[in-house]
Amino acid sequence: MANQYVETGLCAPVNVTWEVTYNCNLSCIHCLSDSGLKRKGELTTKESFGVIDALAAMKVFQLNIGGGEPFMRPDFLDLMDYAHKKGMVTCISTNGTLIDRHIAKRLDNHLVYIQVSLDGATPESNDPIRGKGSFDKVIAALECLKERNIEISINTVLTKRSLPELDKMVDLAKAYGSKCRISRFRPSGRGKDSWSQLNVSKEEMLGFSDWLNTHLGGDPFGLERNYA
């Protein structure tokens, strides 16, 4: 079946990534989008519905939503309801700090997958990168999502600070029935300013490669790699 699609081609992308806003309530020092304030000219609710209509008409299967922080949009849950009504699977990349039981309930019973960002297994390691109090807010969000059995992955960016805590990150994800996703640190946005401070050395990268090979063997922890 897969070969058939390769040979005949696709009439639309399998998935589309959409940054719905630059607005964000955090100011992470490695943010590749340099998000923070809402940008002039961001799409209105009506225009956003139009985008979803167009994607659905092209039979796009999965819609990956990010930002900024998508939950900063007052209409975001309405956009998700509309995308699900159109039959699309949605994957939401979020910092998690705004998710509560009300939001988790709205997302329940939909074809939704949530990727929550953490850059350390404790407040002491995470908060200097993502902001004071962010760790505890994300843990509270994970509790709400777990209560609703919503599929989650915890995403951590590989840096000098997160590298020593990867085992703890895997254990933390496992405690919430989550996968652990490791992303490459990119010198983009505010990441350019923190590159020398956070980027791993060649030796550390080789150590990470060994760690990754060990943990991907049989995939015992549901580990995901986002390191292209």
pLDDT of residue 6: 54
Residue 1 has pLDDT above 80, yes or no: no
Query: Comparing C-alpha atoms, which of 27, 30, 33, 17 is closest to residue 158?
Result: 30
Residue 220: band (very low, low, confident or very high) from pLDDT cuts 50, 70, 90: very low
> In DSSP terms, which residues pair with 25 in a beta bridge?
none
pLDDT of residue 209: 92
pLDDT of residue 3: 55
Residue 145 has pLDDT above 70, yes or no: yes
For 199, half-sphere exposure in the C-beta direction (CA atoms, 13 angstrom radius) is 13
Domains of the chain: 11-226 (3.20.20.70)
Residue 84 has pLDDT above 50, yes or no: yes
Which pairs with CB-CB distance under 8 Å and at least 24 residues apart come from 194-197? Answer: 194/29, 194/30, 197/160
- DSSP per residue, 29-54: TT-TT--BSPPTTPPPHHHHHHHHHH
Average pLDDT of span 33-60: 94
118-141: pLDDT as tens digits: 999 999 999 999 999 999 999 999
Highest mean pLDDT among 3-12, 40-49, 105-114, 175-184: 40-49
Contact 29, 193 (CB under 8 A): yes
Residue 169: Cβ within 10 Å count = 24
Query: Comparing C-alpha atoms, which of 17, 141, 16, 20 is closest to residue 73?
Result: 20
